[in-house]
């Protein structure tokens, strides 16, 4: 029997949700128009006023907001309330270009933590549980978000942050953690470390994991579930919309329910901006319906996704999003072919390799090259040189079947590829360095 944190919203009828969304949107557009010059200018340019927005059906009249707008408006340009009403900031890692700084009022934090609490309850969490939060704390939203959610549920919260894996395992065992929250790549690393320490999944009390912040495949889910002896749930979110908890998985594990009483989702054609009908693949766009400090209207996430309103056996009526199929800006174009790193990961795991790999793209005399280094497990490593070279050829052929292009595969010794405690870096595109 499914448990819900806020059944009045999670299981509301579509009409009830639409009514909530319409009421919130009308208020939100006024709030933003009156308080954010940047947004007022965008709306004026498009010839839209708050009076044109009478219900959620009018959303399409509003302009989009992109990451470039956020950079332009850095740091205060999109702040919609007095700074004195704000109690916290979070920020993106800012590996490319300027960081995004998101502001929160206390009410924003409360609603965000409710969203994370919904995710924890959907993963089976109750006040009886011990929830180990191994996402990074600090500017990153993962640690604080799940931490706040765990408090709301009333679980005993272990604020571990990421890293120090042996200590994670010690606390996990000594304090009988039942739920772990971290990135999927860190979960895989914890599973690997447990194995090395000779601890079997039966010797720990974990029953569920809540993993997100980076793409991960179904093959990786099976791997983690086996190595930790748990059920692994996906969670999605981004700093710009508050953090984790925009969408979360239930026990059906067939996509993530979007907390659409707070975040309205659209799918658009990334080229034309046209809104696509349900079931079509495109770029995910979010409108935060009730955030006070940093409300984004029609924010283009660049995540590629499909929405579905198929009935879910868990009883929740919230629309579902599939696992993001890579970001539009993650996609590599190699010899003219569109390649998502997740496609390569699927092949590796299906062929029995570890999720420790590195994709390197370069250009050699005007031709793109693709090198995939994959770590062998200690058992695989004992193979002879001849066997390893045969395996490299077989794996290269399997990747070619998936992508249509020929990679160079390097099977490398165990522990030679850097492990990730947060978001894994799995692609190095050296072409950008030369250009």
> Which residues contact ligand DLL (rule: CB under 6 A)?
92, 135, 141-142, 212-215, 234-239, 243-244, 301, 303, 323-324, 327
Rounded to the nearest whole angstrom, what is the least distance from the CB of residue 373 to ligand DLL in the complex?
23
Rounded least distance, CB 104 to ligand DLL, Å: 14
Taken in order 142, 144, 150, 155, is the CA torsion positive or negative? positive
Which residue number has the CB closest to ligand DLL? 212
Could you tell me the smallest distance in angstroms from the CB atom of residue 132 to ligand DLL? 14
Q: Give the pair of three-digit tokens for residue 67.
A: 């990451």
- Quickly list H helices, 298-340: none
For ligand DLL, the closer CB: 292 or 303: 303
Minimum CB–partner distance for residue 330 and ligand DLL (Å) = 7
> Which residue number, 292 or 330, has a Cβ lying nearer to ligand DLL?
330
Element (H, E) at 363: strand 357-364
Q: How far is the CB of 60 from ligand DLL (least distance, A)?
A: 22
Helix (H, G, I), strand (E, B) or coil at 303: strand
Give, for 18, the enclosing helix (H) or strand (E).
helix 14-35
Q: Which is nearer to ligand DLL, 184 or 407 (CB)?
A: 184
Residue bearing tokens 């093959």: 219
Cβ proximity to ligand DLL: between 120 and 376 the closer is: 120
Contacts for 337-342: CB closer than 8 Å, 24+ residues apart: 337/403, 337/404, 337/405, 339/370, 339/403, 339/405, 341/215, 341/426, 341/427, 342/215, 342/217
- Chain Cα centroid distance, residue 211: 8
* Pick 322 or 402: Cβ nearer ligand DLL: 322
Nearer to ligand DLL, 320 or 323 (CB): 323
One-character DSSP codes across 372-383: EEEEPPHHHHTS
Q: What is the number of residues in the chain?
A: 435
Q: How far is the CB of 115 from ligand DLL (least distance, A)?
A: 11
Name which of 212 and 355 has its Cβ closer to ligand DLL: 212
Coarse DSSP helix, strand, coil percentages of the chain, rounded to the nearest 5 percent: 35, 25, 40
Report in angstroms how near the CB of residue 178 gets to ligand DLL at its nearest.
19
């Amino acid at each position: 029997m499914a448990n819900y944190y806020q059944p009045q919203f999670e299981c509301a009828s579509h009409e009830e949700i639409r009514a909530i969304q319409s009421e919130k949107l009308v208020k939100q557009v006024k709030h933003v128009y009156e308080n954010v010059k940047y947004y007022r200018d965008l709306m004026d340019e498009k010839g839209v006023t708050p009076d044109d927005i009478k219900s959620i059906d009018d959303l399409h009249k509003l302009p989009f907001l992109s990451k470039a707008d956020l950079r332009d408006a850095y740091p205060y340009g999109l702040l919609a309330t007095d700074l004195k009403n704000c109690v916290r900031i979070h920020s993106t890692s800012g590996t490319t270009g300027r960081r995004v700084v998101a502001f929160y009022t206390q009410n924003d934090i409360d609603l965000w933590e409710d969203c994370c609490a919904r995710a924890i309850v959907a993963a089976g969490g109750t006040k009886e549980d011990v929830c180990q939060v191994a996402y990074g704390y600090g500017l990153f939203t993962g640690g604080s978000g799940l931490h706040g959610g765990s408090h709301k549920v009333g679980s005993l919260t272990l604020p571990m942050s990421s890293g120090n894996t042996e200590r994670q395992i010690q606390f996990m065992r000594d304090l009988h953690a039942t739920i772990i929250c971290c990135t999927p790549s860190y979960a895989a690393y914890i599973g690997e470390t447990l194995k090395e320490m000779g601890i079997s999944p039966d010797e720990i009390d974990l029953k569920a994991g809540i993993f997100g912040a980076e793409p991960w495949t179904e093959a990786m889910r099976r791997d983690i579930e086996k190595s930790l002896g748990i059920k692994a749930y996906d969670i999605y979110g981004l700093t710009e919309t508050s953090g984790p908890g925009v969408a979360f998985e239930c026990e059906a594990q067939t996509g993530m329910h979007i907390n659409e009483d707070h975040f309205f989702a659209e799918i658009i054609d990334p080229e034309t901006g046209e809104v696509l009908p349900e079931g079509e693949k495109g770029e995910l766009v979010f409108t935060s319906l009730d955030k006070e400090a940093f409300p984004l209207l029609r924010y283009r996430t660049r995540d590629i996704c499909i929405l579905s309103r198929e009935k879910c056996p868990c009883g929740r009526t919230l629309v579902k999003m599939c696992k993001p199929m890579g970001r539009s800006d993650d996609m590599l174009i190699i010899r003219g072919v569109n390649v998502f790193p997740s496609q390569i990961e699927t092949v590796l795991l299906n062929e029995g390799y570890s999720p420790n790999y590195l994709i390197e793209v370069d250009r050699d005399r005007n031709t793109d090259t693709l090198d995939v280094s994959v770590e062998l497990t200690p058992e695989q490593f004992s193979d002879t040189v001849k066997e390893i070279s045969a395996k490299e050829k077989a794996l290269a052929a399997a990747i070619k079947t998936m992508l249509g292009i020929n990679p160079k595969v390097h099977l490398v010794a165990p522990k030679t590829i850097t492990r990730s405690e947060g978001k894994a870096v799995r692609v190095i595109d050296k072409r950008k360095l030369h250009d």
